[in-house]
Amino acid sequence: MIRKTIFIFFLVLCLNLAYSIEIKGVGYGKDEIEAKLFALNDLSSQIEVEVSSQFSQIMTEFSKTGNSSSQEFTESIVKTKSELPIIGVKYNVLKINDKNFKYKTESILDSKTSLNSYEAKLSSLKEEIQKLNNILNQKQTSAEKIETLNLLFSKIYSFNKYKIVTIFLGSTNIPKLDTSDGEIKSKILELENAIDTIDMGAKKLTAGIDKTNVYIFPPSAKQASGITQFGSAIKDYVSKYIKTTDNVYYADFFLKGNYNILKDHIEVIYNLTDKDNNVLMTKIVKFLPKSYQNYEYEPKSPDFDTLLTDGYVVSNDFKIEISTNKGKSNLLFKQGEEVEIFVKINRPGFFYIVGHVVKDTDKYSYLLEIGSGADNLKRNFIRYVNADDTNKWLSLGQFSVEPPFGIESLQVIAAKDDLIDKIPSFTYDNDMGYYVVSKNPKEAVTKTRALKPIKNNEVISSEAVLLMTTFDK
Determine contact, residues 106/24, Cβ cutoff 8 Å: yes
What pLDDT does residue 405 have?
A: 84
Residue 137 makes CB contacts below 8 A (sequence gap 6+) with none
How many Cβ atoms from other residues are within 10 Å of residue 37's Cβ?
18
C-alpha to C-alpha distance for 302 and 409, rounded to whole angstroms: 13
C-alpha to C-alpha distance for 183 and 181, rounded to whole angstroms: 5
C-alpha to C-alpha distance for 42 and 391, rounded to whole angstroms: 9
> Does the CA dihedral 165-171-172-175 come out positive or negative?
negative
- Report the percentage of the chain scoring pLDDT > 70: 86
Determine contact, residues 196/149, Cβ cutoff 8 Å: no
Q: 99-128: per-residue pLDDT in tens?
A: 889 999 999 999 999 999 999 999 999 999
Q: 98-107: per-residue pLDDT in tens?
A: 888 999 999 9
C-alpha to C-alpha distance for 425 and 85, rounded to whole angstroms: 43
C-alpha to C-alpha distance for 21 and 43, rounded to whole angstroms: 13
CA angle, residues 458, 410, 426, in degrees to nearest 5 = 85
The domain locations on the chain are 65-80+114-292, 302-471
The whole-angstrom distance between residue 162's C-alpha and the CA centroid of its chain comes to 16
- Side-chain-side CA neighbours of 229 within 13 Å: the count stands at 11
Q: Is 158 helix (H, G, I), strand (E, B) or coil?
A: helix
Q: 140-172: per-residue pLDDT in tens?
A: 899 999 999 999 999 999 999 999 899 889 888
- Report the percentage of the chain scoring pLDDT > 90: 62
Question: Is the predicted pLDDT of residue 245 greater than 90, yes or no?
Answer: yes
Question: Is the predicted pLDDT of residue 289 greater than 50, yes or no?
Answer: yes
- CA distances to 251, 256, 284, 389 from 242, in Å: 13, 14, 17, 38
Nearest to 234 by CA among 189, 266, 212: 266
Architecture field, domain 302-471 = Sandwich (2.60)
- One-letter amino acid at 349 equals G
What pLDDT does residue 374 have?
A: 66
The string of DSSP letters for 303-337 reads HHHHHHHHS----SSS-EEEEEBTBSSSEEEETT-
pTM of the model: 0.86
- CA distances to 55, 88, 119, 153 from 116, in Å: 22, 9, 5, 24
The residue ranges of DSSP E strands in 30-73, in sequence order, are none
Q: 390-421: per-residue pLDDT in tens?
A: 999 999 999 888 877 888 899 999 999 999 99
C-alpha to C-alpha distance for 351 and 413, rounded to whole angstroms: 5
What are the beta bridge partners of residue 256?
271
